[in-house]
Structure 1
Amino acid sequence: MDKSLICFDDASKRTDPYGELKIFAGSSSSQLGRAICRHLGAELARSETKVFSEGNVFVRVLENVRGRDVFVIQGTDYPVNDNFMELLFWVDAFKRASATQVTAVIPFFSYAKGDKKDEPRVSIRARVCADCLEAAGADRVLTMDLHSPQIQGFFKIPVDHLYAMPVLVDYFREKDIPDLVVASPDVGFGKQAYKFAEMIQAPVVFGNKVRRGHDEHAEMLDIVGDVRGKNVLIVDDFTISGGTLIEMAVACKERGCKDVYACVSHGVFSKGSAAKIARSPIKELVFTDTIEHRFEELAPCCKVVSVASLFADAIMSIHRRESVSRLFNY
C-alpha cells in the first residue's frame, strides 16, 4: 500500500478534493476498527454506545461529521439482532448530523444465510436487512465474503464485496505444505475452492454433504476425489459450530489422508464449538478478524489472520473515488 496516498495531516485535509474522512467503529468491531485506522495512519473517531437496562440501544457521535465522508464499521455477529439495530442507529445518526456520505462497513453480514425463499411461508431475511439499511440512509455498503454473492443485488445502493482469499492464500503459501489438496465441503463453495487451489497450485476434492434440518449439523456422505496420502486443506466461507469442517476432516482421515488443515473467512463459533474443534482431527484452523470473539474461548488449534489492510485499502479507494476492483486481483 502506498502510504504517501494515505495521509491525514492538516495539509491533506485542506488539499484533499474529497473532503475529510471520518472512521467510526460500533461496539461489535472496535478492534478491527482500530486496526484499520492503524493501516490508514488515522485516529478512530470518537463515539459512544450504551445499552439500557431494558435492552434499548443508544448511540452518540462525539465528533462533528457535517460535510464529512463517514465510514462506520459494525459487524453483525452475536448478538446478531442487537448489533444490526446498532448499525441502523449509527447510519441514522450520521445522516441526521449531515454527513455527506455514510458507508456501512459490515465485516460479517450474518443474515446473508437468509438469501432465498426455499421453503413455504419464510422470510428472505437478507433482503429485509438490505431494505432496512437503505431506509436508515446508508449510501453504500462495504462487506466481505457474503455467503451468497447475489445478495449484492438486494441493494439499490452500491455494494463493494471484498474477499479474504488473498490473505488466507498468502498464509498457506508461506507454510508451503507438501502434497496438499484443497477440499470444499460441498459444491456450493466449489468456484471459490477452485480459485484457492489455483493460487496455491493444488488439486481440488469435494464433499457431498446433506443437512436434514435447520440445525447446524451436516452429514458428510462421500468425498469426490482422492485424499489418500495427502495433506488436506478444507476451505469454506464461514463456520458456526465447526460441524461441517469436522465432518469433512473425519471423512478425509477415514480415507487415508495425512494432516488436515482448515480455513474460513468468518469464524463465528457458537457456544461449545471450541471443545468440539479441539477434539477433532483438524491440525490448524485459520480464520480472519472480521469477528471479535468476546464470548467464547478459541480452540488451541485456531489462528487469526488480519484483513484490516484490505478494508483500509478499500475505504481509501472509496473515499478517493478510485476503483476497488483491483483488490480482487489475487
Structure 2
Amino acid sequence: MSVTGGGIKVFSGSSHPELAGLIAKRLGQPLGKATVTRNESGESIVRIAESVREHDCYIINTSCVCPTPTGQAASPNTSLMELLIMIHACKTASAKRITAVIPHFFYARQDKKDKSRAPITAKLIANMLENAGCDHVITMDLHASQIQGFFDVPVDNLYAEPAALQYIREMVDVNKAVIVSPDAGGAKRATSLADRLELDFALFHKERKRANEVSRMVLVGNVEGKTAILVDDMADTCGTLELAAQQLVEYGAERVLAIVTHGILSGPALERISKSRLEKLIVTNTLPQSQNRARCSKIEEIDISHVLAETIRRSHYGESVSVLFNQIPYDTAQPYRHEHHLLNDDNAEDSYARTGVSRPASRGMSPSQSRQKFPPSPYTLPDPPAAQNYFADHNPANSPSLADPQHHQQQQQQQQQQQQQQQQQQQQQQLHLNPAMPKPIHSNSAEDTPKAERYNPSPLRQNI
C-alpha cells in the first residue's frame, strides 16, 4: 500500500461547495483554503491559500448549470476555467499529485463527430485538463465510457448503479416492477440494472427532429400493471422523460418513476416534471439540487458523496477502486438520502401505526442518523466509525507519542529492551548450536548519528 508523501488536500471550486463539504467531512479532513473570485470583466481569480508542496491534491468542481443554494446559476464554462486554473495553481506550487474530481463531466455529450465539421469537445476538455497539470481524473457515469480513452492519465469512472439498486429495493415493490430505458443508447444500463434485480426490462425507440426535442417514441416490452422505472444517465430539458411517462401510462403502467444520475434540469424541465405523469424523479447530488427540490416536490435526491470520498481515500492509499463499481462503500440504507414528502405524509403515519412497523428515522445527509434503524444490505460494506480521520495514522503531528515527550521516551526504552532481549535469545540459540562460535562483544554506546524523531519548524517560517 503506497501513500503519497505530504498528506492530502481537498479543494472546492464554486460550482458545488455543498458536495465538496460532504466529501471532506466523510474523509475527516477540512476543505483546503482557496479563494475563487471574479473581477469586473468576469475573469476567474483563484488563489490557493495554503501550502500544497508534496501533497496529494483533490480539486472538486462539476459541470454546473443548476442554481446553487445562493440562487446563482454557474456556467459550465466558468466552472471549467476555475478547475483548470486551480489545477495549474497547485501544479506550480509543487503539489505531488493533482486529481480532478468531476462528478458530472464537462461537455460529455459532445463525444463524437455526429455531423459535418462538428467538434469532439470532450477530447478537447481532456487535453486541457492534462495540459493544466492534471495527473488523475475521478468522474461518475460518463455519458459515453469511451471518453476515458481521450485521456493519457488514469480515469476512474464511477457508477451510481449500486445506489439506484438500493433505492429500488427499499422504496419499490420489486415483484411488480420493470426497468425501462428511454432510448436504445441506455439499453446496456437498463439491462444491467434489470439483471441484478432479476426483473424484466423494456426500452423506447425515439426519433428526434432536432436536438433536445423528441418527436415519436415506440415501446418495446410489456409494462402493463407494473411499476415502470425509467433509468438514464442524465435529465436535461426532460422532454424525453415527460413523453416516456405519458406513453408508459398509456401502455398500462400503474406507476412511473425515473432514476437519473445527473439532474441538469435546464429550461422548462421543472415545469415538465410537475405536469408529467411521473410520480417521482430521483437524482443524485452530482449537481446542486437545493433550488430544484424547493421548486418541484417530485424531485428526490440521493447522496453519492460517500462513493466519491471512498474513491479519494482508496486512491490516496493506493488501494483498488473497482470494488466500488458494484458495491456501496458504507451501509447507506437510509442516512444518505433526502426525505421530503415522507416526514409530512399523514398516510405514511397511519400505515406505520396499522402495520406496527417502526417509522424510519430522518433520511438526511448526516451519516450518524438512523443508521441502526435498518438491517444492512448484502450489497454494502461496513460503515466506518463516525468522524473518523482516515489520514491521522499517517500524520506525524497527530501522533500521541510526539505530543507527550515523556511517553515517547518510555516507549523508546521499552522497544530497545525488547530488541536487546531478542538479540540475546538469538545469540544463545546460535551458541547452543555452535559452541565454537566466539561470544559477541556487547556495546551500550549510543549511535553516532541518532535519527531525528521530528523536525522543529523554522523560526523564519510564516504561516500562510
TM-score (norm 2): 0.66
- Which residue of 299, 302, 306 maps to 1:302? 299
Which stretch shows the higher mean deviation, 93-102 or 167-176? 167-176
- Which residue of 35, 46, 49 maps to 1:48? 35
Question: Structure 1 residues 298, 264: closer, same or farther in 2, change over 3 A?
Answer: farther
Question: Structure 1 residues 148, 182: closer, same or farther in 2, change over 3 A?
Answer: same
**Matches of 2:259 and 2:109, distance apart in 1:** 19
**Taking every aligned residue pair, what percent have the same amino acid on both sides?**
37
**Matches of 1:211 and 1:139, distance apart in 2:** 39
- Which residue of 81, 86, 89 maps to 2:85? 89
Which stretch shows the higher mean deviation, 195-204 or 303-312? 195-204
**Matches of 1:80 and 1:205, distance apart in 2:** 33
Contact residue 207 and residue 222 of structure 1 kept, 8 A = yes
What secondary structure sits across from 1:114 in the alignment? coil
What secondary structure sits across from 1:99 in the alignment? coil
**Matches of 1:17 and 1:207, distance apart in 2:** 47
Which stretch shows the higher mean deviation, 65-74 or 49-58? 49-58
What secondary structure sits across from 1:275 in the alignment? helix
- Which residue of 247, 272, 275 maps to 1:276? 272
Contact residue 207 and residue 220 of structure 1 kept, 8 A = no
**Matches of 1:21 and 1:320, distance apart in 2:** 10
Q: Report the equivalent of 1:202.
A: 199
- Which residue of 303, 308, 312 maps to 1:315? 312
Cα distance, 1:128 vs structure 2: 0.6
Q: Report the equivalent of 1:10.
A: none
Q: Report the equivalent of 2:239.
A: 243
Write the mapping of 1:285-300 to structure 2, written as runs, cut at 5 A: 285-293=281-289, 296=292, 297-300=294-297
Question: Structure 1 residues 42, 141: closer, same or farther in 2, change over 3 A?
Answer: same
Cα distance, 1:181 vs structure 2: 0.5
* C-alpha distance after superposition, 1:287-308 (max 9, x if no partner): 1000014665542110001000
What secondary structure sits across from 2:265 in the alignment? coil
TM-score (norm 1): 0.92
**Matches of 1:147 and 1:176, distance apart in 2:** 26
Quick one: which amino acid aligns to residue 154 of structure 1?
Answer: F
**Matches of 1:17 and 1:283, distance apart in 2:** 47
* C-alpha distance after superposition, 1:109-151 (max 9, x if no partner): 1301000011111110000111100110100100000000000
Cα distance, 1:46 vs structure 2: 1.3
Write the mapping of 1:17-166 to structure 2, written as runs, cut at 5 A: 18-78=5-65, 79-166=75-162
What secondary structure sits across from 2:123 in the alignment? helix
Q: Which residues of structure 2 form unaligned runs of 5+? A: 66-74, 328-464
Contact residue 16 and residue 288 of structure 2 kept, 8 A = yes
**Matches of 1:145 and 1:211, distance apart in 2:** 23
Contact residue 57 and residue 99 of structure 2 kept, 8 A = yes
Q: Report the equivalent of 1:212.
A: 209
Question: Structure 1 residues 269, 160: closer, same or farther in 2, change over 3 A?
Answer: same
- Give the RMSD, CA atoms, in angstroms: 1.6
* C-alpha distance after superposition, 1:9-55 (max 9, x if no partner): xxxxxx96643010011101211111111211111111111012211
Structure with the higher fraction of residues in strand conformation: 1
Contact residue 16 and residue 287 of structure 2 kept, 8 A = yes
Quick one: which amino acid aligns to residue 182 of structure 1?
Answer: I
What secondary structure sits across from 2:209 in the alignment? coil
Quick one: which amino acid aligns to residue 130 of structure 1?
Answer: A
**Matches of 1:165 and 1:199, distance apart in 2:** 10
Q: Work out whether 1:324 is the aligned partner of 2:321.
A: yes
Contact residue 288 and residue 307 of structure 1 kept, 8 A = yes
* C-alpha distance after superposition, 1:49-90 (max 9, x if no partner): 101221101111111101100000000122111111111001
Quick one: which amino acid aligns to residue 110 of structure 2?
Answer: G
What secondary structure sits across from 1:221 in the alignment? strand
Q: Figure out how many residues of one structure are paired with residues of the other and give that number.
A: 316
What secondary structure sits across from 1:223 in the alignment? strand
Q: Report the equivalent of 2:256.
A: 260
What secondary structure sits across from 1:111 in the alignment? coil
Contact residue 208 and residue 222 of structure 1 kept, 8 A = yes
Q: Which residues of structure 1 form unaligned runs of 5+? A: 6-14
Question: Structure 1 residues 66, 144: closer, same or farther in 2, change over 3 A?
Answer: same
* C-alpha distance after superposition, 1:143-178 (max 9, x if no partner): 000000000000011101000111111111111324
Q: Work out whether 1:184 is the aligned partner of 2:171.
A: no
